Amino acid sequence: MATKNNEPADEDDYIDIDDTGPEGLKGADGGYAWEEEYKRSWDAIQEDDSGSIQSVVKHMSEQLKRKRRTRDTEAIQRGIIRHLILVVDQSDSMATKDMMPSRIHATLNMLASFISEFFDQNPISQIAIITTKDGLAEKLTDLSGNPMDHINALRERTSRDLAGEPSLQNALELAMHSLRRAPTHGSKEIVCVFGSLTTCDPGDIEKTLQALKNAQIRVSMVHLAAEVRIHKRICVETKGEFSVPENEHTVRDALFEYIPPPPIVSARATADMIQMGFPIKANSLEVPTPCVCHHELSFSGYICPRCKSKVCTLPTDCDVCGLPLVSAPHLARSYRHMFPEENFEETRAEGEVCFGCGARWIDNAAVHQQKIEEQSTGTQNQAIGVQGAGGAGGGRFKCPSCKHEFCLDCDIFIHETLHNCPGCV
């Protein structure tokens, strides 16, 4: 190996790759990676009898839906009052365009959807947002139960705000400082969305990890690039989750996994009485009065039952006496996580239509026979064609309680949005 000025190379100048082990550089099939046959993945796509791949695309879509309907419905203790902090990477790596139009734009759009859905299913919880770039961490919003505050703050972020490298340690330390003031009866969680493979930390992150474990803060991460050992280790040791999505569609699925409250660890499974207030709504006051949350004059609001102060929206904490203010629907929407709707059983259709949407069941054999007849005669059977185009496909599922049958789309809608079976209610 030649070096500068033709001087002999030292031992440290050589790169020594250990290929003497039992596996060496060989793959699982016994051959080297550069000897593997080139894989033509597009050849795996199969056309139907009419030469179209629409049926293949529909089959892949149904597989994704079936994966979504496989959910945990066990009645276990969960914390319905949550304090969650979102940590968003704003380093240069988020400008990568492997997600359209870029990682940061795709991430901000998905986080806005996540926040809306989070508060819809966890109305008495709170969220804060922290960003990290240039080796620093900045608090974008404080812990709050108003989703529009967080969504508007995210919309102000653009690709021009990206700079340098992130600091995972600074972000976690700032998140711990924010969660330290949160009440003990609520769960404490941190969800990070990272795109950088590096982190610029000022100190020993092992001490931060130990502090997270002592404070019983659960850390989870969605990494847009690859698995990083220290990132996954922090998630595993704090009882969180770590995932690397394949594309923007799976990024959304990975984020939405954190909407249901996580199970409570058995060591912390205690039941505490929490005092809450149900304020009275004042619609038409004679004179405008200021609210204690924004100090703005208005003719309407909610009156705290303890100190008689006025707040704008619910749920919130009274800024005067600190009493949590909620309404009955908020508690009901949070309570459903502890007793979720049971999974429906896949079965053969006994009725003629889906009980949810009223669509007729698709007879796949009849549709297939129709296509064969169309190819041979050049005609089109309108009766079967209309039924196949608007019918309910993708499987038939029966509620174990009321025995009504639903299509796959109705099954997903019931479990992800309604959270109640229409046949049972």
Q: What is the pLDDT of residue 315?
A: 83
Give the pLDDT confidence score for residue 60 in this predicted structure: 59
According to DSSP, the residues that pair with 316 across neighbouring strands are 325
Retrieve residue 110's tokens: 């998905």
User: CA separation (Å) from 42 to 38, 53, 246?
Assistant: 12, 12, 18
Tokens of 122: 């966890």
Which pLDDT score, from 0 to 100, does residue 88 have? 95
pLDDT at residue number 392: 57
Query: pLDDT value at position 229?
Result: 93
Strands of 310-311's sheet, edge to edge? 280-282, 301-303, 310-311
Residue 152, token pair as written in the block: 């508007």
Quote the pTM value. Answer: 0.70
Neighbour order of strands in the sheet with 396-398: 345-346, 396-398, 405-407
Q: Whole-angstrom Cα distance, residue 261 to residue 118?
A: 10
Q: Per-residue pLDDT for the chain (425 aa), expressed as one digit of tens each?
A: 544 455 555 555 554 545 555 455 555 555 555 555 555 555 555 666 666 666 655 665 666 666 655 555 554 556 678 999 999 999 999 999 888 888 999 999 999 999 999 998 888 889 999 999 999 999 999 998 889 989 999 988 876 789 999 999 999 999 999 998 887 778 899 999 999 999 999 999 999 999 999 999 999 999 999 999 999 999 999 999 999 988 877 888 899 889 888 776 655 556 677 788 999 888 877 888 888 988 888 888 999 999 999 998 888 888 899 888 888 887 777 776 666 778 888 887 677 888 888 888 775 544 445 555 555 555 444 333 333 334 555 678 889 889 888 988 888 888 877 878 888 88
Composition of the chain by helix, strand, coil, percent to 5: 35, 15, 50
The pLDDT assigned to 341 comes to 76
Q: How far apart are CA 169 and CA 330, in angstroms?
A: 35
pLDDT at 276: 86
> What domains lie within the chain, and their CATH numbers?
80-264 (3.40.50.410), 280-335 (no CATH), 345-418 (no CATH)
